Amino acid sequence: MIDVKIPKEKKKGMIINLAGVLLLFGVLVVLCETGMLSNYIKGILMVCGIAVIMACSLNITVGYMGQIALGDCGFMAIGAYTAALITKAMESGGILVGAGAPNTLRFLIGTLAGGILAAVFGVLVGIPALRLRGDYLAIITLGFGEIIRVIIQNLKFAGGKGFSEGQAGQALIGINRLADLYVVFWIVVLTVVILFTFVRSKYGRAIIAIRNDDIAAGASGLNTTFYKVLAFTVSAFFAGIAGGIFAHYIGSLNAASFGWLKSTEYVIMVVFGGMGSLTGSIIAAVVLSALPEALRSFSEYRMLVYSVALVLVMIFKPTGLLGTYEFSLLRLFNRITGKSGKKLADKKQEVK
């Protein structure tokens, strides 16, 4: 039996991060259960959660792999429609129907299925598309995203009430709003943890190496095609997960909601937060999702303020808010307790 020893500092970081997440969840529960958060605010938090998943997943392709992809909402649409149709089919068949745990389990099954199917299409699209780079890749992924959207729009079973009662070209209605804020919170946390782990694994390091120098990475023995498709597939999977949450939060789906303009919004979040920083993507997704709502009282000027904010960030901070920097609770804890300075002094003493 292999004895895997976790370094003491890493174990400490895991405990601190877990404590931080549990504290944040506790605050959310208290605010919700005491009625301090209105349904309107809860809706904004749900939108922020979806945006965080989309921005972080897209950062894998755009930030860490360095490839511009504009068709991510196509995979989101696949996940949304797949999840919605599966939960509707389970409901009509009397499978996992009932308040509480059955509905939550049905929601999770549908959302996971949506993510898996989106990942399959990610492979199918990624193999031919990732032979290209830069502007050419942006154009072809934009085309694939529009193709997916138009196909869905013309599927009879994906419109109206769905299946035999479906009507092509119409919105899919009658989707149970199964997305619970508490469940979505943990889905977002799990997504961020998986993506953080992925970018720090050998696969993530290989993807970063390909971004830095594609030719050198290939000459070093890396299968660049495999790693590019892998990154694209991981991004598509989590886009599908976000789509499943979106479907069960909104309660109806319109293919027009997944156009290239929506994909561009998520790319803006990645660039705004910093390409190569998941922490930056989280901050940008929350800020850019909540800002239009916060400025709703200035409805005539809110999009102007939104646009000016983006322009100013790009002028004075072209690498995004955080660049490639990642926020660390462990680093913050060590700084507060003074341990970071002690470690630095110990290292200097060792050098002497």
**What is the structure's pLDDT at 1?**
38
In a domain, 172, yes or no: yes
- Identify the band that residue 300 occupies on the pLDDT scale cut at 50, 70 and 90: low
Q: Could you give the CA distance from residue 271 to residue 320 in angstroms, rounded to a whole number?
A: 6
Q: Could you give the CA distance from residue 104 to residue 100 in angstroms, rounded to a whole number?
A: 6
Which structural domain, as residue segments, surrounds residue 147?
Answer: 41-260
In a domain, 23, yes or no: no
* Better pLDDT: 305 or 187: 187
Minimum mean pLDDT range among 46-55, 253-262, 310-319? 310-319
In a domain, 335, yes or no: no
Judge whether 129 and 144 are in contact, CB under 8 Å: yes
Mean of the per-residue pLDDT values for the chain? 84
In a domain, 318, yes or no: no
**What is the structure's pLDDT at 67?**
83
* Better pLDDT: 310 or 187: 187
- Mention every residue, 6+ apart, whose C-beta is less than 8 A from residue 294: none
**What is the structure's pLDDT at 307?**
76
* Better pLDDT: 307 or 116: 116
**What is the structure's pLDDT at 302?**
65
Q: Is 4 left (phi over 0), alpha (psi -120 to 50) or beta?
A: beta
Tokens of 18: 């877990």
**What is the structure's pLDDT at 109?**
92
Q: Could you give the CA distance from residue 174 to residue 179 in angstroms, rounded to a whole number?
A: 14
CA distances for 56 relative to 44, 85, 205, 269, 333, angstroms = 18, 26, 17, 9, 25
Q: What percent of the chain has pLDDT over 90?
A: 27
- Identify the band that residue 339 occupies on the pLDDT scale cut at 50, 70 and 90: low
In a domain, 125, yes or no: yes
What does the pLDDT average to over 130-153? 83
Secondary element (H or E) of residue 51: helix 39-59
Domain count, the chain: 1
Highest mean pLDDT among 9-18, 125-134, 181-190, 342-351: 181-190
In a domain, 79, yes or no: yes
Q: Could you give the CA distance from residue 205 to residue 30 in angstroms, rounded to a whole number?
A: 40
> Shortest CA distance to 240 belongs to which of 84, 77, 55, 127?
77
Q: What percent of the chain has pLDDT over 70?
A: 91
First-to-final CA distance of the chain: 41
In a domain, 286, yes or no: no
Strand partners, 172: 160, 253
In a domain, 85, yes or no: yes
* Better pLDDT: 300 or 63: 63
Instruction: Say if residue 118's pLDDT is above 50.
Output: yes
295-328 in b/e form (b: 16+ CB < 10 A) is: beeeeeebeeeeeeeeeebeeeeebbbbeeebee
